[in-house]
C-alpha cells in the first residue's frame, strides 16, 4: 500500500469536496435507491463521501459510514444532521479498517474503487469485516468490456487520475476475485462500464 499516493488522493478529494455533489450526479438516484434496498442489518458504507446515499437507506438498518477525506465527511455529517435516522460517520481509510473481523451484515460502496490506491487491499478489508453470511453490494464504474472503448479509457485515464485521483479503467471484477470474493449478481446499468454488483464474501462460518 502506497501511503504517499493515499495522501495525495485524500488531498484531491478534500479540494473538490465543495463541488463533489455536482460531479456525483452522474450516478442516478434510482440506481442508488435500487442498490440500497438490498442493505440489511448492521451496514458499513465504504467511501461514504458527501453522503449522497444516506437518504436512500431503509429506516430499519444501522449504518456506519467511513471516508478518508475529512472535508467530504463533513459534508456527509451536514446531510445526516437533517435526517431522522442516525448515522455513525468516521474518518477511516478503506485499506486499513479498524473494525474487527466479521462485523457487518452488509457492506456498501458506490463508485469508490476507482480511487482507492490499492483496490485489492481495500476489497480484502471489505471481505474481512463482512460476516460469512453477509453481502457486499456495489455500484461501480470500471473498464469497458469492449476493447475499443476500453483502450480509449486507458488513454484518457491519466486525466481523471491527475485531477481527482479517480481511475476510469480499473478491472474491478478481476480485483474482486483477487480479493477472494465471489460475484453473485451482476447488472449492467450503462453498457459494461457502470454495474450493480452483489457479492458474497466467500468465506466459511
pLDDT at 81: 95
CA distances in angstroms from 160 to 156, 166, 169, listed in the order given: 7, 6, 10
* Mean pLDDT score, 112-138: 96
pLDDT tens-digit map of 156-189: 999 888 877 789 999 999 999 999 999 999 999 9
Higher pLDDT, 19 or 42: 42
| 67 domain residue, yes or no | yes
Domain count, the chain: 1
| Average pLDDT of the chain, as a whole number | 91
| 175 domain residue, yes or no | yes
Residues pairing with 91 in the sheet: 67
Q: Residue 133 pLDDT > 80, yes or no?
A: yes
Range of the domain at 129: 3-200
CB atoms within 10 A of CB 183: 17
| 205 domain residue, yes or no | no
| 51 domain residue, yes or no | yes
The pTM (predicted TM-score) of the whole model is 0.90
Q: Residue 14 pLDDT > 70, yes or no?
A: no
CATH number of the domain where residue 112 is located = 3.40.50.150
Query: What is the C-alpha to C-alpha distance for residues 59 and 84, in angstroms, rounded to an integer?
Result: 9
pLDDT at 166: 84
- For residue 7, name the pLDDT band (cuts at 50, 70, 90): confident
pLDDT tens-digit map of 79-100: 999 999 999 999 999 999 999 9
| 29 domain residue, yes or no | yes
Query: What is the C-alpha to C-alpha distance for residues 142 and 79, in angstroms, rounded to an integer?
Result: 28
Q: Residue 104 pLDDT > 80, yes or no?
A: yes
- For residue 4, name the pLDDT band (cuts at 50, 70, 90): confident
Spatial CB neighbours of 127, under 8 Å, sequence gap ≥ 6 = 136, 179, 180, 181, 201, 202, 203
Amino acid at each position: 500500500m502506497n501511503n504517499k499516493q493515499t495522501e495525495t488522493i485524500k488531498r484531491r478529494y478534500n479540494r473538490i469536496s465543495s463541488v463533489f455533489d455536482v460531479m456525483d450526479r452522474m450516478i442516478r438516484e434510482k440506481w442508488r435507491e435500487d442498490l440500497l434496498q438490498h442493505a440489511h442489518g448492521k451496514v458499513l458504507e465504504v467511501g461514504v463521501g458527501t453522503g449522497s446515499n444516506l437518504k436512500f437507506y431503509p429506516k430499519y438498518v444501522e449504518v456506519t459510514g467511513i471516508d478518508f477525506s475529512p472535508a467530504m465527511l463533513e459534508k456527509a455529517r451536514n446531510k445526516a444532521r437533517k435526517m431522522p435516522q442516525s448515522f455513525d460517520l468516521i474518518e477511516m481509510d478503506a485499506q486499513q479498517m479498524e473494525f474487527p473481523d466479521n462485523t457487518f451484515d452488509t457492506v456498501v460502496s458506490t463508485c469508490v474503487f476507482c480511487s482507492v490506491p490499492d483496490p485489492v487491499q481495500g476489497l480484502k478489508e471489505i471481505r474481512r469485516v463482512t460476516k460469512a453470511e453477509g453481502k457486499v453490494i456495489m455500484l461501480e464504474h470500471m473498464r469497458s468490456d469492449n476493447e475499443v472503448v476500453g483502450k480509449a479509457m486507458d488513454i484518457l485515464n491519466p486525466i481523471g487520475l491527475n485531477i481527482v485521483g479517480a481511475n476510469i479503467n480499473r478491472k474491478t471484477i478481476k480485483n474482486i476475485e483477487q480479493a477472494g470474493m465471489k460475484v453473485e449478481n451482476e447488472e449492467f446499468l450503462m453498457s459494461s462500464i457502470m454495474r450493480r454488483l452483489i457479492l458474497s464474501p466467500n468465506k466459511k462460518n
